[in-house]
A and B are shown apart, each in its own frame.
Chain A
Amino acid sequence: ETGVTQTPRHLVMGMTNKKSLKCEQHLGHNAMYWYKQSAKKPLELMFVYNFKEQTENNSVPSRFSPECPNSSHLFLHLHTLQPEDSALYLCASSQGARGRGADTQYFGPGTRLTVL
């Protein structure tokens, strides 16, 4: 596997379910990100991890819970979601904040989440 992978690609869940999204990067990067993309809106940054430490939480509701066990893996745990949380959830990775120049992010294919 190369690049950034995400599983599952599609997920349908009820509001009372608990599920997790998984992201894995094979690029040797030190930073990982979760984004939410809703229709016709910019990508919204949710969480940032640099060297396994969470460095950003953009006022995301607590029903979204990230976990970064190591610099290659990132999870997003979901519980008691709302229908308005239905969106494309994208994971990305980059060299990280300790580098120089543009910290280009590389994205996974995303998980299309539908909350019923």
Chain B
Amino acid sequence: DQQVKQNSPSLSVQEGRISILNCDYTNSMFDYFLWYKKYPAEGPTFLISISSIKDKNEDGRFTVFLNKSAKHLSLHIVPSQPGDSAVYFCAGSGSARQLTFGSGTQLTVLP
């Protein structure tokens, strides 16, 4: 049973446009959600997080939205840049403060 799902394995976006990466979860006990970015041959790097009591968190070009009733979160990147091309993982964190990851979405930003 996959508690965190990223149903789109890949996404292509034109440079300068908005990238929207989606994530669904089933575990209502998650109290934080995190997004990580991963380049080939590197480990995932932390991008942005959101508490379950919030519905939005913004950091520069990156904004995460949380819809608790729909058990859905999304990461918006505006404007998208070629250097944003990477695999993006969402993760949920519960009371044990461990992370449960989705399977990732490959974002390609086209110049």
Which candidate, B11-19, B43-51, B65-73, B76-84, is the interface stretch facing chain A?
B43-51
Q: How many residues of A contact B (CB 8 A)?
A: 26
Contact B51 A102 (CB under 8 A): yes
A15 contacts chain B at the CB level, 8 A cutoff: no
Contact A105 B101 (CB under 8 A): no
Nearest chain-A residue to B3 (Cβ)? A42
Query: Bound complex: CA of A54 vs CA of B44, how far in Å?
Result: 23
A106: chain B residues within 8 A (beta carbon): 45-46
B101: chain A residues within 8 A (beta carbon): 42-43
Query: Bound complex: CA of A40 vs CA of B10, how far in Å?
Result: 11
A42: chain B residues within 8 A (beta carbon): 2, 4, 89, 100-104
Contact A104 B46 (CB under 8 A): yes
Query: Bound complex: CA of A38 vs CA of B34, how far in Å?
Result: 21
Contact B44 A107 (CB under 8 A): yes
Contacts across chains A and B counted by CB atoms under 8 Å: 59
Query: Bound complex: CA of A90 vs CA of B104, how far in Å?
Result: 15
Contact with A along B32-68 (1 / 0, CB 8 A): 1010100001111110010100000000000000000
Contact with B along A32-44 (1 / 0, CB 8 A): 0100000011110
**Min CB distance, B42 to chain A, in Å?**
5
A91: chain B residues within 8 A (beta carbon): 43
Most buried by A among B42, B44, B93: B44
A101 contacts chain B at the CB level, 8 A cutoff: yes
Contact A103 B93 (CB under 8 A): yes
A107: chain B residues within 8 A (beta carbon): 36, 43-45
Considering the complex of A and B, which 7 residue pairs feature the smallest CB-CB distances, nearest first?
A107-B43, A102-B32, A103-B97, A43-B101, A42-B101, A42-B103, A102-B49
Interface residues of B (CB under 8 A from A): 2, 4, 9, 32, 34, 36, 41-46, 49, 51, 89, 93, 96-104
